[in-house]
Copies of this chain bind each other. A is one copy, B any other.
Amino acid sequence: MSGHVTERQPITIVIDAMGGDHAPEEVVAAACALSLEAPGDHAAGSKSTSGKSSGDKHATEKPDERRDGSEPLHLLLVGDAPRLHGLLMKQRYDAERIAIHHASQVITMDESPREALEQKPDSSIAVAARLCAEGRASALVSAGNTGAAVLSCLQHWKRLPGIRRCALAAVYPTEVRRGEKDDPFSLILDVGATLDVTAEDLVSFAVMGSAYASRISKNPRPKVALLSNGAEAGKGPKEVVAAHAQLRQLRGIHFIGNVEGVDIPRGVADVVVCSGFVGNVVLKMLEGVSETVVRLAHYAYKEKLMWRAGLAMLSGGIGKLKDLTDWKQYGGAPLLGFDHLLIKAHGRSQAQAIQNAIKVAKKGISSGLLVEMERGLREAEALRTKTEEGNQ
């Protein structure tokens, strides 16, 4: 990583090189490929180091600064240094853009997160989260154990002002397209980081989800909705009803009210806000959706020859439908609510998916996502204070 502050300050992203089913090989391959293709020139005067860099002097990353996207990208690979070096030796990469930071332990996909983190303080994910907290990087990318990644951030990162609980967000495909890039995805949060939520949590998720959609999907005014059991303002558990009342007064986001289950696949909202428990159930249902319909179709129409033929002709595509409904293919799930950004790539990610996750992380930082979230959260907080004073 760069030891000098340059005119165009590089963005450093720390990578949990040992996390995921195909780690560290595919992770290193992704880093190498990105080091060669990343946009922008290399920062003049930057100096490459590889090997342990924990003692290096370094420029402190400021994750809350808005940049223009053409900053050089620096990657800090965390994991078994000799092994990572060995992998780097085998391929082409830009040595000025990749550094290695040693971590002696690894948390596997099936370990219980809490116990694993207690027993392995030097695990790659814990070390990676600490490096961010120390200002060495703006964002973290991991394809490892999701629970361990979220817990590491919880243990080492600061929450944004006004945030009580964090949210893991996920994208899922819809027919409706949105934003500058015609994204066919909606964002849903939380999908599992915070199972039980208060009205204030839901409001902060709405604010953060809106900021994420506007920055990452370049959708300038994303439609934000609360998931409930009816469209009316009074529908839902008390925290949803209370959040609805608060969201209606926020000017910084485009709140369209409540949506119901049937509106999720339709893509009525760009950002769907719910508790982590509900979001997890919804997301997993979406993952199984194509599988289900094939089964239903077989059941309903097994005796109708033309439908059978149609189904057979579609069957080649049905497998790919599953990929389409697999949100994990698309850059990974952001963890929102902290002063740094975690992009959690799917455990099965190969080099291309990891590259996507790193690009999303960079885009989040260079587009000023964290600043935007802070702005929205301040507005929500101010509104709450005003309402409380009004009630006294």
Contact = CB atoms under 8 A, between A and B. Distances in A.
Interface of A: 173-175, 184, 192, 195-196, 227-229, 236-238, 240, 260-266, 274, 276-278, 280-293, 295-301, 304, 306-307, 309-314, 316-317, 320-321, 324-325
For the complex of A and B, list the 7 residue pairs with the smallest distance between their C-beta atoms, beginning with the closest: A261-B284, A310-B313, A265-B292, A175-B295, A310-B314, A229-B280, A261-B285
B314 A297 contact: yes
Given A265-B285, A281-B278, A310-B312, A195 B317 contact: no
B262 A285 contact: yes
Given A196-B237, A281-B261, A298-B175, A288 B317 contact: no
B260 A284 contact: yes
A295 B309 CA distance: 20
A296 B300 contact: no
Contacts of A277: 228-229, 236-237, 240, 278
Contact of A282 (B175, B261, B263, B290): B261
Given A262-B284, A282-B261, A285-B262, A321 B300 contact: yes
Interface residues of A, dominant DSSP: helix
A286 B296 CA distance: 11
B317 A297 contact: yes
Contact of A314 (B263, B290, B314, B320): B314
Contacts of A309: 310, 313
Contact of A289 (B173, B240, B293): B293
A346 to B, nearest CB: 15
B298 A283 contact: no
Given A195-B236, A261-B283, A288-B262, A296 B325 contact: yes
Given A261-B283, A264-B285, A321 B292 contact: no
A189 to B, nearest CB: 14
Given A310-B310, A312-B310, A314-B310, A296 B321 contact: yes
5 contacts: A175-B298, A260-B280, A264-B281, A297-B314, A307-B316
A136 to B, nearest CB: 33
Contacts of A265: 285, 288-289, 291-292, 295
B280 A296 contact: no
Given A262-B284, A281-B278, A296 B173 contact: yes
Nearest to A318: B297
A231 B266 CA distance: 28
Given A284-B261, A325-B296, A317 B301 contact: yes
A299 B184 contact: yes
Contacts of A307: 313-314, 316-317
A278 B236 CA distance: 10
A257 to B, nearest CB: 16
A300 B282 contact: no
A251 to B, nearest CB: 28
Contacts of A325: 296
Contacts of A262: 284-285, 287-288
B297 A321 contact: yes
Nearest to A195: B237
